[in-house]
Amino acid sequence: MFKSIRTTLLWWYVVILVGTVGLYGTVVYYALRRNVLTQVNDRIREQAVAIALTWEDNADEKADAVAFELTELFPVFAGEGNDRPYFIGWKKDGTVGLVSRAGLEVPFPGQVCYRTRGMWREITVGGSDGRLVLVGEHTGTVRAELSGYLQLLLGSGAAVLALALLGGWFFSGRVLAPIHRISRAASEISGSNLARRIDVGKTESELGRLAGTLNSAFDRLQKTVEQQSRFTADASHELRTPVSIVLATAEQTLAKDREAPEYRESLEAVLRAARRMKSIVDGLLALTRADSGSVTLERDNVDLAEVVEETLALLEPLAGEHAVTLSSSGPRPLIIGDRERIREVFTNLVTNAIRYNHRGGTVAVVVQENGTHVEAKVIDTGIGIAEEHVPHLFERFYRVDAARTRAAGGSGLGLAITKWIVESHGGSITVSSREGEGSTFTVRLPRISEVRPPCDAVDSSTARSLTGTTDRPLTRVQQPIQHPS
């Protein structure tokens, strides 16, 4: 605790306070002292000059008479006591010519001067024809007075210091208390209970803002941790079923010797489960990479319509299996992006549209230009999605129907990956659906330019059937694209 802010604060406070009070006291004391001593000097000087003049004026009279007259004139020299002032006059030859009282032993100063002799303050002034007059005053009272002042100053200084320190300790404690509260709460939060928060109500001013900032940081942290742990739980949950298929099938099959067709059947089941695990793991890996931001997207000029057509051609066999007809229509806008990833977007969307369709249904991909954006709508005539599921559709591992996706062979991550790809291209994806009538997924991507072949006006209005061969000539115009720098 010796390094705590409170002690440091107090330490500096002490240094500054001692300096200030000490300097103030010293200045006050010395000013007072000078003032008092000047008064003494002035007084004895006045007296000495007056005595010298009087002595001069009465030079002819006897010294005793002059002295007596002077003590009459200045009663301070009269009276009893060894500490009363005195005066002495020396003649030119250095002999004492004038003295306020008998028995004084004062060394001859020899010149005009001030001097301090023991407890005595003396002044010597010169008169005419080489005479010197000295007046001495006992400084005992003055010194006692000064030392009294000094004690008072020291005492009150110490008292002020003590009071200020006490106050300082108290106030620094009060100021630092919220910090203690914040740090205690913060350490409890980071320790175990992420749901706890710092009580901002009790914390005023700048510290209140600090607490608020910390709270919102904890909010984000909690959200991330919850997301992460839910993600991990979901992932392990998703993997449980295929793992149990592999285990149960293998254990059952290996229990005894079997015929070849039985082994084949079991291996096929194991293979299906393994493929499912692979698709889950691939999806997880893709999303983990996306989360960590370690994915670099290519920046090619991509002909959106071309990507759509290629995707539809690839999915034709799957569509055939489900007796679903695929088609695409629209202009041929260019976008900047990663061709493979955009292909993945449409592969995911169209695969879903085929799988959740009725036999004899259709899937249409319609490309439209919409100001600064290009829209691609994947419209199916399938089973649709109930309203309550729509907001969660792009969440990882979200299942509209536990069994439906599983039967269709999805990993539960396809739409989450799709959303990530679209958003990392600066686009957005939305869905509208009516249960039993079908769904429409709309992908919006920023447009950079467009290529218009001469015949496009006619061409884009005709739906291009993709069953069998592509009957539409793929008119591709190679022309330099102006990249927005």
Partner 1 sequence: MRILIIEDETDLARAVRKALEEDGFAVDVAHDGESGLYQAQTCDYDAILLDLMLPRRNGWTVLDQLRKTKDTPVLILTARDGVDDRVRGLDDGADDYLVKPFNLDELRARIRSLIRRSAGKASSILRAGDVEFDTASRTVRKAGKAVTLSPKEYSVAEFLMMHRGELVTRTKLFEHVYDESEDTLSNVMDVYISNLRRKLGKDFITTRRGEGYLIHV
Where along the sequence are the contacts to partner 1 (CB under 8 A)?
Answer: 237, 240-241, 243-249, 251-253, 255-256, 266, 269, 272-273, 401-404, 406-407
Residue of 425, 188, 405, 203 lying closest to 295 (CA atoms)? 425
Distance CA 302, CA 341 (A): 11
Three-class secondary structure of residue 255 per DSSP: coil
Q: Which amino acid is at 260?
A: A
Report which of 367, 338, 368, 365 is spatially closest to residue 352, judged by C-alpha positions.
365
- CA–CA dist 141, 358 (Å, integer): 120
Cβ-defined contacts of 219-225 (< 8 Å, 24+) = 221/194, 222/194, 222/195, 225/194
Task: State how far the Cα of 395 lies from the Cα of 425, in Å rounded to an integer.
Answer: 19
Answer for the pair 136, 86: CB distance below 8 angstroms, yes or no.
yes
177 versus 247: smaller Cβ distance to partner 1? 247
Q: Give the angle subtended at the CA of 287 by the CAs of 281 and 289, to the nearest 5°.
A: 100
Distance between CA 356 and CA 439 in Å, rounded? 10
Nearest to 369 by CA among 328, 335, 337, 331: 331
Residues 312, 382: contact at Cβ < 8 Å? no
Choose among 272, 366, 387: nearest CA to 312: 366
What is the side-by-side order of every strand in the sheet holding 96-99?
A: 96-99, 86-90, 132-138, 120-126, 113-117
Task: Assess contact for 389 and 404: CB atoms under 8 A.
Answer: no
Contact 306, 476 (CB under 8 A): yes
Residues belonging to the chain: 485
